[in-house]
Amino acid sequence: MGHPYSVPAVYDEPARGILSTLIALTTVCAIARVASRWIQKADSAADDYLSYLAYFLNLANLISGILLIPKHAVSLPGLMLGNPDDLDYITNSFIAIGIFYILTILLSKLSVLFLFRRIFTMHITTFRIAWWANLLFLVPCWTAPVFTLMGLSIARKDLRQSDISKIGTPVVAALNAFSDIMMLLLPVWSISKLRLPKQQKIALVGVFAVAMIATGVSIGRAALLFIRNHVQWNPAYNTYMDIVMTASETSAAFMCSCLPVLKPIIIKVNKLCSRSVSRITGTLQTGRRDPTGSKASRLSLHSDRDTDTWKVNSSQKGIHRVREYDVDVDVIPLQSGMRGHSPS
């Protein structure tokens, strides 16, 4: 991912590689979500629309980061040239990235909240209170401060080096991480009350716990912003980390909003893979030949899948298949003259 003291401090390739990878991963998640809902034959709900909108906003965020690379935003030699047009473009792009960041995080979390609302009943008082607490914390307590910082950034054109930014940005990032933790705890109580085996409860909690990925990224970004106030990074690396960490957090938030609803397509893909493996295995087993090439060995065949037994009838010189699980010798009385012959 680069190093703050690398020489000549050009981070074009790492930034382009990370952003391109995130575009590919988020696009796969978006397509998989659409396919899963189609497999279920389910109508789109509020959480689906919010997630799709979050995808396009995150895509705009990632593309904006890629477009900054030709403008020498993550190259120290290019920044040292001080091209006024490039510097203005970088400033305006960071304002756009900030807006995309806020809206993507907000919509991704709202998508998860409305997914919980769709899955769990709002008639349970405890869950209803916890759901509204999450919503109110997300909208007023996080969205209001972050939009305030964004407004000051637009007014001053560059707020990243101001005292307000050095204090406000890490605080807002910490509030975002705390909101992630609150949302992680939301479905746990409801799942614990379900009448399911313990293993299934753990599996359900694990499905929703994938949001820990986004939470980890949020905590890491908040810690990085606090650390950055006490270290001296070159401007190119500073810009590079802003682009990469912002893109990683928004992409992780979007992907985590999709993962809990991808079970249908995962099952479908698993079945297709199992069938392909079975066909390949069957072809290999059918293609085997006895090295002796004897007639008796070719007629003595065994099938492991249905435990069929193939026998040779000497009088008719043909093959009769007898399913072992279709014949119960303890129930069917065999006459003394019929013993030793295959049942007709």
Q: Alpha helices, DSSP H only, in the chain?
A: 12-40, 46-68, 76-81, 84-119, 125-136, 144-156, 163-192, 198-208, 212-228, 235-258, 263-286, 295-299
Interval 234-261: pLDDT, tens: 888 888 988 998 899 899 889 988 888 8
- Is pLDDT of 342 > 70? no
**Residue 105 and residue 222 in one domain:** yes
**Residue 72 and residue 160 in one domain:** yes
**Residue 161 and residue 302 in one domain:** no
Q: What is the pLDDT of residue 60?
A: 96
**Residue 249 and residue 306 in one domain:** no
Q: What is the DSSP string of 248-310?
A: HHHHHHHHHHHGGG-HHHHHHHHHHHHHHHHHHHHHHHHT---TT--HHHHH--EETTTTEEE
Q: How many structural domains is the chain composed of?
A: 2
Whole-structure pTM value: 0.72
Mean pLDDT of the chain: 76
- Best CA proximity match to 250, nearest among 69, 113, 111: 111
**Residue 65 and residue 209 in one domain:** yes
**Residue 301 and residue 172 in one domain:** no
Report, as an integer, the average pLDDT of 282-309.
51
**Residue 173 and residue 24 in one domain:** yes
**Residue 231 and residue 114 in one domain:** yes
**Residue 247 and residue 313 in one domain:** no
**Residue 222 and residue 310 in one domain:** no
**Residue 218 and residue 93 in one domain:** yes
In angstroms, the CA 180 to CA 343 distance is: 68
Report, as an integer, the average pLDDT of 143-160.
74
Report, as an integer, the average pLDDT of 138-150.
85
Torsion of CA 230, 231, 236, 237, to 10 degrees: -100
- Best CA proximity match to 91, nearest among 109, 117, 71: 71
Angle at 254 between CA 253 and CA 259, to 5 degrees: 100
Interval 34-54: pLDDT, tens: 999 998 888 888 999 999 999
Residue range(s) defining the domain that contains residue 314: 291-325
**Residue 299 and residue 254 in one domain:** no
Question: pLDDT band at 57, cuts 50/70/90?
Answer: very high
Does residue 94 or residue 284 have the better pLDDT? 94
Are 93 and 154 in contact, with CB atoms under 8 Å apart? no
Domain contains 297: yes
Are 31 and 265 in contact, with CB atoms under 8 Å apart? no
